[in-house]
Amino acid sequence: MPRDRLEELKKKATEQSSPTNIPQSKSYPIDSASEPLIDADADFQLFLERCSNLRSSLKSLEEDYDAVVQLHGSLLSTPGADADNSDKLNNHSQMFISKAAQIQNSLRILSDETRNLPSNACGIARAKNEQVRSIYRTFETVMNKFNKEQEEYRDKAKRKIVDYLKIRNMQLSDEEIEDAVSSGNLSELTKGVMLALNEKKALYDDVKSRADELKNLERQMGELAQMFHDLHILVVSQGEIVDHIETSVLNATEYAKKARGNVEEARNLQKRARKMKVCIIIGAIIAVLILLVFFQAAVCHFTPIC
């Protein structure tokens, strides 16, 4: 008769599922001072690469500025309306403003990163902040040059409109010219001029082209004013970061001086402790010798050994 193996199989299954039979995974000690997940050197190298890309963008921005200056000179020296150069000027101006906005956003991100650096990274913070400040200065210089060029071109274009109208014996004040340019109602200025149809149309087109350029300039300068406001806020915040870093450096210097003084004091205490230890040992040896002498004298006095 075959044996009932059910109980035997249950017993083996219980032994295999027992926690004592489960192989323990090898445990590794957790080092509290383990390396950070982000290498500081690699992070700083990446930061420098981003700064290099920003400098390349600034170089492209300066090229757009040079193109705008060249087109301004060409348009002011052209006697009639020049639609091609006007379109090129608008394109370069818009490209300049768009690139400037992108650079400003990138600078804001870099500035926030330098602001959020830990307090124990003073050296890295100073290096990063110096890079950002250098880019800020270059960017601010280019923006100031572009804004100055726009203002000068606006004034020259207005004077040229006035000169065109004066040639036709139309004496107008600056306020009337300003109102006509801002409202776009230039036909009212030229309707009273007794000229041939083609000549009048050419004059109207020329004045209208200058006025359109001025309107675009006013719009672009409004955008620039907002960008300058944001740039000023960024520069102020960057100055606060510099002050914070300088304060941290000064505190670190004071801590280093205190630590040096503590080290000197510890060395002096160590020397005193050594001297005291030597004196105690010598005193103990002398005391032991005296006790031995007294003990020997007592033994010799009370016993006939000596």
Distance CA 204, CA 123 (A): 63
Pair 199, 299 in one domain: no
Q: Are 249 and 126 in contact (CB under 8 A)?
A: yes
Pair 238, 282 in one domain: no
Distance CA 230, CA 236 (A): 10
Pair 85, 167 in one domain: yes
Would you say residue 5 lies in a domain?
no
Pair 110, 178 in one domain: yes
Pair 290, 210 in one domain: no
Pair 121, 234 in one domain: yes
Q: What residues of the chain score a pLDDT lower than 50?
A: 1-2, 17-38, 184, 186-187, 190, 192-200
Dihedral sign of CA atoms 78, 169, 189, 149 in order: positive
The whole-number pLDDT of residue 38 equals 45
Would you say residue 89 lies in a domain?
yes
Would you say residue 93 lies in a domain?
yes
Buried b (16+ CB within 10 A) or exposed e, 193-211: eeeeeeeeeebbebbbbbb
Pair 280, 177 in one domain: no
Strand stretches in 174-257, DSSP E: none
pLDDT digits (tens, 9 = 90+) for 176-203: 666 655 554 544 554 544 444 444 455 5
The whole-number pLDDT of residue 36 equals 41
Pair 58, 160 in one domain: yes
State the total domains in the chain. 2
Pair 84, 134 in one domain: yes
Cβ within 8 Å of residue 55, ≥6 positions away: 135, 138
The closest of 216, 214, 192 to 204, measured between CA atoms, is 192
Pair 95, 187 in one domain: yes
CATH code, domain with 233: 1.20.58.70
The secondary structure of residue 25, as a DSSP letter, is: P
Pair 99, 200 in one domain: yes
The whole-number pLDDT of residue 271 equals 86
Pair 283, 208 in one domain: no
pTM of the model: 0.51
Would you say residue 18 lies in a domain?
no
Would you say residue 24 lies in a domain?
no
Distance CA 206, CA 209 (A): 5
Q: Which domain holds residue 279?
A: 268-306
Would you say residue 101 lies in a domain?
yes
The whole-number pLDDT of residue 154 equals 78
Would you say residue 221 lies in a domain?
yes
Residue finishing a domain among 199, 224, 242 = 242
Would you say residue 247 lies in a domain?
no
**To 5 degrees, how large is the angle CA 133–CA 135–CA 141?**
105
